[in-house]
């Protein structure tokens, strides 16, 4: 089994999650947060947790959902006319003007970097028709992602709605989903963004409030949050070598310290173990005579040193009907089955196994002509 401990090329893994292995503390450390989660990006495995499913107010980390919905709307280059209502939104602001026109893309930058509540309201009205309509879209997306202990009532996380909450685990799920989007990933990790200012001769300049982008060299993005009721909330992401981690804290007085501690413990305790290498799968008995089995990407899973020898793989293969496989299709090929990965007897991951038929030899016209000549000669020599 190969273990990745050094920087390497980024690998996209397409897989079907069975469930998350019970969290194992990355190290003997504590966090100031009332709730916290450290999750690995590729697999969703929880490496550290503290009250992960406790429902709490989340403040401006709500805007992760607002941002990804705006990006997925496909309207990032469209201009948004800012309403009076959006401008009057209380709290942190990017100081939009009533009636000004600004691209949705710039609004998302202002939302994520400066936590503009006015930007959040303008996005909600443009994408969802109203804040109430946008909240419906937020909850719909939350259900799709599996955020079962979350309810969104506004696009910014202000305390103006009682029925607005989530959990550390659900916010890690949301961030994991959002980080699979390259546009979100870029915006989240941007330190400075400049946007046109319609009433001034200079551009707006927004600096990211996420101090971890400067404090911690492996930080790749995140979102800050604070309200009087939620206190300090924080989501950050980090990458070292082949491992990407997501850290979430809710009501954490020392959140910067908490996140650096979780990241360092996670990177120091877990490695990405290669459970199945990319390419052809060799089994003791070849199940199909007319082709071979393979997977498109190596199967990696975060593991501690003591867990490395506890992995096993069960290959569940289909019987082809009429020479063809039915069901899941990956990269234009029907899956011949799946490989189920177990850690210490518990299924933790599943990946599709594909079938590649053996190529038939193409002889062409010249080959056919030679065979005819050979047969003719054979007939003559045999009388």
| Active centre residues (catalytic) | 60, 63, 115
Distance CA 100, CA 109 (A): 17
User: Both tokens of residue 37?
Assistant: 């989660």
Measured at the alpha carbon of residue 18, what is the angle toward residues 21 and 319, in degrees to the nearest 5? 140
Distance CA 222, CA 259 (A): 11
What per-residue string of b and e applies to 166-186 under the rule 16 or more CB within 10 Å gives b? bbbbbbbbbbbbbbeeebbee
Distance CA 383, CA 376 (A): 11
For residues 235 and 247, is the Cβ–Cβ distance under 8 A?
A: yes
Distance CA 24, CA 333 (A): 37
Distance CA 207, CA 149 (A): 32
By CB neighbour count within 10 A (0-12 exposed, 13-18 middle, 19+ buried), where does 87 fall? middle
276 membership: H or E segment, kind and range: strand 271-276
User: Both tokens of residue 202?
Assistant: 């200079």
Contacts of 66 (CB under 8 A, 6+ apart): 111, 120, 123, 124, 134, 138, 155, 156
Contacts of 345 (CB under 8 A, 6+ apart): none
Closest C-alpha to 241, from 206, 222, 268, 211: 268
Closest C-alpha to 122, from 164, 163, 93: 93
> Is 322 strand, coil or helix?
coil
Go through the chain and tell me how many residues it has. 383
Q: Is 223 annotated as a binding residue?
A: yes
Distance CA 146, CA 38 (A): 17
Distance CA 297, CA 274 (A): 10
Q: Which residues are annotated as a binding site for substrate?
A: 223
Which residues carry a binding-site annotation? 223
């Amino acid at each position: 089994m190969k273990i990745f401990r050094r920087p390497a090329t980024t690998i996209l893994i397409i897989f079907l999650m069975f469930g998350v292995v019970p969290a194992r503390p990355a190290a003997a450390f504590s966090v100031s947060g009332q709730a916290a989660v450290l999750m690995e990006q590729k697999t969703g495995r929880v490496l550290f947790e503290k009250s992960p499913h406790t429902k709490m107010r989340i403040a401006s980390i709500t805007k992760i959902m607002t941002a990804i919905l705006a990006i997925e709307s496909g309207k990032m280059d469209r201009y948004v006319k800012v309403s009076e209502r959006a401008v009057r939104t209380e709290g942190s602001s990017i100081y939009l003007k009533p009636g000004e026109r600004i691209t949705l893309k710039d609004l998302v930058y202002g939302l994520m970097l400066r936590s503009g509540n006015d930007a959040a309201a303008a996005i909600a009205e443009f994408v969802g028709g109203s804040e109430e309509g946008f909240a419906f879209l937020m909850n719909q997306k939350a259900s799709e992602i599996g955020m079962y202990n979350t309810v969104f009532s506004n696009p910014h996380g202000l305390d103006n709605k009682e029925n607005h909450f989530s959990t550390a685990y659900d916010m890690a799920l949301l961030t994991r989903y959002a980080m699979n989007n390259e546009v979100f990933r870029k915006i989240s990790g941007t330190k400075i963004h400049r946007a046109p200012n319609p009433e001034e001769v200079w551009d707006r300049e927004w600096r990211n409030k996420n101090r971890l982008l400067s404090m911690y060299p492996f930080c790749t993005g995140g979102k800050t949050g604070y309200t009087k009721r939620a206190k300090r909330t924080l989501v950050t992401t980090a990458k070292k070598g082949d491992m990407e981690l997501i850290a979430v804290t809710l009501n954490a007085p020392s959140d910067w310290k908490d996140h650096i501690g979780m990241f360092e413990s996670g990177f120091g305790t877990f490695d990405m173990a290669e459970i199945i290498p990319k390419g052809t799968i060799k089994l003791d008995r070849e199940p199909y005579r007319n082709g071979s089995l393979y997977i498109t990407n190596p199967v990696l899973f975060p593991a501690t040193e003591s867990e490395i020898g506890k992995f096993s793989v069960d290959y569940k293969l289909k019987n082809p009907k009429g020479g063809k496989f039915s069901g899941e299709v990956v990269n234009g090929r029907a899956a011949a089955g799946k490989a189920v990965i177990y850690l210490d007897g518990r299924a933790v991951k599943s990946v599709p196994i594909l079938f590649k038929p053996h190529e038939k030899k193409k002889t062409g016209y010249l080959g056919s002509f030679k065979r005819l000549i050979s047969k003719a000669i054979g007939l003559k020599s045999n009388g």
